[in-house]
Structure 1
Amino acid sequence: MTHRPSRPSRPSRPLRVLAPALAAGVLLTTAACSDGDDSGPARADTSEISSSPLAQESPAPLTEAGARAALVTEADLEDDWTQVKNAADWRDSLLVGKVDVADFLTGKADAADCQKLLDRLYSEDLLGKPSGASALTGFQEGESRLLYQVAAYDKAGLDSSFDWLGSLPVKCDQFTAKDSSGAARTVQVTGFSLPAEGDARQGLRVTVQGTSGGAPTTLTLDVAAVRVGTDAITVTNGGLDGADRDSTEQAVKLGTPRLKDVQAGRTPSADPGEID
């Protein structure tokens, strides 16, 4: 993502969940519809699918259509969020740098983990490359941006990624990274709690203090990951003026049930009030 000022924090507000269309008798073979119309026969077919113990206990592998259906959409977000087409290309140059190994008492192993964090934040692959279907979307409101991704992963790799994420607040508490010119940037990583959703979850606050256009600046990112079986959600938001924690928590709280519905062959609820 590019340098930009974030909007000021605002009160927590719910995301309106937009239900995708569901073709009768199959598992989410279409992407989310913008009008959210899931009434009539399609709703009846959904009830039949969700009542099947097999559908609930042994979810089918995530499909591309299912991953897209589990995403939040422009219609879910209040204010003036606009969906963009280039979210996969968002990058922030403050995340580019080589970790200074001299900062680490335990040596190269911890330094490598912190380097991986910077690299994955920059490439937008926090949990590594998906092994199956994936979908991501991004939204812009003024100079603020929000990235939301749903993807399928190899179980062993996903477990390893969550173990790695959980270790970062200790291993990467504070360190120095240098850009190509040798200028130093101070990076701090702390953990924070997320709503009790999914099988595992990890929240990280990452701040990078450096310079932009010759002026001192601090990039602040809230990063959240939630595992649901072998699928996972990642949410990244923040900017040069801070990060909106409430938006991160709301996305996790409302987005996780959407993914669970997709896994069970159900249409995600069109009414966020139905999600506790």
Structure 2
Amino acid sequence: MTRRPTRLVRVLSSALAAGTLVATAACSSGGDSDGSRSSGVTASPAARKQPTLSPTTSPASTLTESGAQTALITAADIEDGWTQVKDTEAENWHDSLLIGTVDVSDFLTAKADAADCRRLMDSLFDDDLLGKPSGANALRGFTQGDSRLLYQVAAYDRTDPQGALNWMAKLPDECDQFTMTENGEQRTVQVIDTSLPDVGDAREGLRVTVKGESGGEDATLTLDVAAVRVGNNAITVTAGGLDGDEHDSVEQAVQLGTQRLKDVLAGKSPAASPGEIE
């Protein structure tokens, strides 16, 4: 179904060669993350990502602020030349391509589907894909060329992260392609389902592609997004930029990051990152 442009990207701070780049999704640690607000991954069956009903994955303790920090991944966990940045820098990443007004006429069920697609774009911009954490949370950012990766660990004690995962699961159908408009410029957005390692109690992966203009030239922003639930806690990863495909790094972050979170919740010390083992 063809769609016309709608709302997208946020303004990325600092030195990015082309101007607008990806701001990875995650909530700021200890405060409001104020962001005033297709590419070649084959869609995977939704059934593969349904909740894993296994009591062995249930957390043994409440996630603390120090525990959330300990559960964060390092550059060694994702390899591929990523460099960790200061937390204050990661909290302020914004990509202007994520900003825009969603074209309601693109949708069969109009307002309902359009609202979900607008929520997706807003949550990517505001770093709250699963909603605002109700408990401890921590984030860490990494850069590689013109790409960014934002990793978050958070507790959702008074909210239901599974509800947000269920919402994510329907986005490839409801928001498969639509348009956004910002300042008279149209952008085409595509959302597809992506595969993730079979970890945690439940998981969802998406690839969001935004095509528009940056600095007067054609530009494509590609974001790989993943969320994994472990009890009432979750990790979220957003990675990408104008350079495109970062799916492999997201898979690595999910695979090792989920185990780190489970270890912390069980009162164990997370295993050393691969790059730290001599």
TM-score calculated relative to the size of structure 1 = 0.76
Give the corresponding residue for 2:187.
185
Distance in 2 of aligned mates of 1:126 and 1:72? 19
Matched, 1:200 2:202: yes
Distance (Å, rounded) in 2 between the aligned partners of 1:259 and 1:246: 20
Is 1:2–2:12 an aligned residue pair? Answer: yes
Q: Which residue does 1:146 correspond to in 2?
A: 149
Could you say which residue in structure 1 is the equivalent of 2:249? 247
Q: 1:74 deviation in Å?
A: 4.0
Q: CA deviation at 1:182?
A: 2.4
> Conserved in 1, the CA contact under 8 Å of 2:188 and 2:211?
yes
Q: Counterpart amino acid of 1:72?
A: I
Other-structure match for 1:227: 229
Q: How many residues align?
A: 224
Matched residue of 1:170: which SS? helix
Shift of residue 124, structure 1, vs aligned partner: 1.1
Aligned with 1:159 (options 144, 155, 162): 162
Structure 1 residues 167, 252: closer, same or farther in 2, change over 3 A?
Answer: same
The residue that corresponds to 2:265 in the other structure is 263
Q: Secondary structure at the match of 1:93?
A: coil
Query: 5 Å matches for 1:1-276?
Result: 2=12, 4=16, 59-74=60-75, 76-78=77-79, 79=81, 81-85=83-87, 86-154=89-157, 156-179=159-182, 181-270=183-272, 272=274
**Distance in 2 between residues matched to 1:125 and 1:240, nearest whole Å:** 22
Report the Cα offset of residue 203 of structure 1.
0.5
Taking every aligned residue pair, what percent have the same amino acid on both sides?
59
Instruction: Give the whole-Å Cα distance in 2 for the aligned partners of 1:268 and 1:58.
Output: 14
Counterpart in the other structure of 2:52: none
Q: Is the 8 A contact 1:149 1:233 kept in 2?
A: yes
Cα offset, 1:257, TM superposition: 0.4
The answer to whether the Cα contact below 8 Å between 2:77 and 2:273 also exists between their aligned partners in 1 is no
Give the C-alpha shift of residue 109 in structure 1. 0.6
* Bigger CA radius of gyration: 1
CA deviations 1:110-139 (Å, max 9, x no partner) are 100000000000111111100100000101
Deviations 1:157-178 (A, max 9, x none): 3121011000000000000111
**Structure 1 residue 66, shift from structure 2 partner:** 0.3
Deviation per CA, 1:11-30: give whole Å up to 9, x if none: xxxxxxxxxxxxxxxxxxxx
State the Cα distance separating 1:141 from its structure 2 match: 2.9
- Deviations, residues 86-113 of structure 1 (Å, cap 9, x unaligned): 1111110000111111111111011000
The 2-side partners of 1:58 and 1:165 are apart by: 23
Q: Do 2:77 and 2:253's aligned partners in 1 also have CA atoms closer than 8 Å? A: no
Contact 1:175 1:188 in 2 (8 A): yes
Deviation digits for residues 178-218 of structure 1 (CA, Å, limit 9, x no counterpart): 11x12111000000110000010011000001100011111
- The offset of 1:143, in angstroms, is 2.6
Alpha-carbon distance in 1 for matches of 2:165, 2:175: 15
Cα 1:139–1:58 shift into 2, 3 Å = closer
For 2:202 and 2:57, the matched residues in 1 are separated by 19
User: How many Å separate the matches in 2 of 1:56 and 1:173?
Assistant: 32
Cα pair 1:5 1:239 within 8 Å, conserved: no
Shift of 1:2: 1.7
SS of the residue 2:178 aligns to: strand
- The structure-2 alpha-carbon separation of the partners of 1:271 and 1:118, relative to structure 1 and needing over 3 Å to count, comes to closer
User: Structure 2: which 5+ residue stretches go unaligned?
Assistant: 1-10, 19-55
Q: Give the 3-state SS of the residue equivalent to 1:97 in structure 2.
A: strand
